[in-house]
Amino acid sequence: MQIAFYSTKSYDKQYFDACNKEQNIIYIETQLNEQTVALAEGCDAICAFVNDVLNKKVIAELARLNIKLIAMRCAGYNNVDLEEARKNGITVVRVPAYSPYAVAEHALALIMTLNRKTHKAYNRVREGNFSLEKLTGFDLYGKTVGVIGTGKIGQIFCDIMQGLGCRVLAFDIIANKELVAKGVEYLPLVDLLPQCDIISLHCPLSEQTRHIINEETLGMMKLGSMLINTSRGALIDTKAAIEALKTGQLGYLGIDVYEQEEKLFFTDWSEAVIQDDVIMRLMSFPNVLITAHQAFFTEEALEQIAEVTLSNIKAFETGKELANKVI
C-alpha cells in the first residue's frame, strides 16, 4: 500500500523505517488539514497523529481521493470525525497502548519537578547560584493523590503513587477491581476533589470529560493543590485554571497537553513571536510547568507505535481482523 504519512518528524522516519518491510510510505512534514489533504492523492491510506485535522471536510476529500484507511499512530482519535468516516466507508484504526509506563512516569516527573523545583535549581547552579532560597518542596509520602481515569495509564500511575506511600483516590465510570484490591478508593468527583493534594488526569477526551476541570471543579479542590494533565488538553478549561492560579486556589499546574496545542506543539517557535496569549500567560507563572506533548516520547513507545501502526495497515491490506479498529 502507498501511505501518506502526515506531520512527520525525524524520529517518526527513524522508527518507521526501521520497522517497515513492505509498505510504501510517503513522508509529509506538514500537518493534515483542509489545505494539505490533496497531498494524499494517489495513496491508499493515510497515517495521522494527535494534532492532525480530520474534520468533515478533510474526510470528505479523503474519500474523494479514494482513501480507504485512516491509521492513527496514537491512542486518541477525538480529532477524527468518525461519523463522516463511517458515512464514506473509511476504516479508522489506532494504537490503543504503546507505553502506558512512559505517560504515567512523565506525570510523576511533572509532579517531582514542580514540587522540588529541580528545573529552577538546575538553572541556578549553572549560573553559580547555590542558594536554596525559594526551593522548598514537600514530602510526597502520606499525601492524598486523586486519579481521574483509571485505564492502563491511570492504573500504572496509581501503582507508582502508592509505591511512594501516597493515599490514592480514584474517579472513573467503572472501578478497577485490581486497584480496589490494592487499596485505591473510588469516589464521586465532588467527594474526591476536596481531599486531594494532587490531581492527575488520565481519562480520554469526550463530550462528557471536556472541561471536566472548570471553574466549578477547581473551586472544589483543596486550596493550593497540584493539577497534572498528561492526557488531553481540553480536559482543562485553561482560562479557568489561570484564574485559579492567580487567586492561589490552584497551587501548581503541570501540563504536557494544551487545548490549542495543534497550533504550537511539535514545532520550533523560538525565533517567532508566539501569538497565543493564553499559553504565554501560563508560561509567566512560576508554579506552572509545561512540556510539549512528550509524555509518550520513549524509545519503547516509538518502537511500539511503529510496529502496531504497520501491523494495523497490513491487517487491513490482507483482509484480516482489525484488532485495533475504531470504526
| 169, 146 contact by CB (below 8 A) | yes
Q: Which of 261, 281, 299, 307 is catalytic?
A: 261
Cα angle at 59 between 58 and 62, to 5 degrees? 90
At 97 the pLDDT is: 83
Instruction: Specify whether 210 is catalytic.
Output: no
Distance CA 115, CA 192 (A): 21
Q: Which of 73, 232, 259, 262 is catalytic?
A: 232
167 is catalytic: no
Give the pLDDT score at 76: 86
Query: What confidence tens digit (pLDDT) does each residue in 199-245 have?
Result: 999 999 999 999 999 999 999 999 999 999 999 999 999 999 999 99
Confidence (pLDDT) at 34 = 97
Confidence at residue 158, expressed as pLDDT on a 0 to 100 scale: 98
pLDDT of residue 33: 97
Measured CA distances, 104 to 111, 145, 150 (Å): 11, 14, 11
Could you give the CA distance from residue 267 to residue 215 in angstroms, rounded to a whole number? Answer: 31
- Amino acid of residue 317: E
**CATH pick for 2-98+299-318 out of 3.30.565.10, 1.10.132.20, 1.10.260.30, 3.40.50.720:** 3.40.50.720
Residues of the chain with CATH 3.40.50.720: 2-98+299-318, 100-290
Please state, rounded to an integer, the average pLDDT across all residues of the chain. Answer: 97
Tens digits of per-residue pLDDT, 259-300? Answer: 999 889 999 999 999 999 999 999 999 999 999 999 999 999
Using a 10 angstrom Cβ sphere, with 0-12 exposed, 13-18 middle and 19 or more buried, the burial of residue 254 is buried
CATH of 100-290 among 3.30.390.50, 3.30.2020.30, 3.40.50.720, 3.40.640.10: 3.40.50.720
At residue 313, the pLDDT reads 98
pLDDT at 7: 97
DSSP class of 140: -
| Phi and psi angles of residue 165, each rounded to the nearest 5 degrees, phi first | 85, 20
The DSSP-derived string for 280-313 is HHHHT-TTEEE--S-TT-SHHHHHHHHHHHHHHH
**Residues in the chain where the model's pLDDT stays below 70:** none
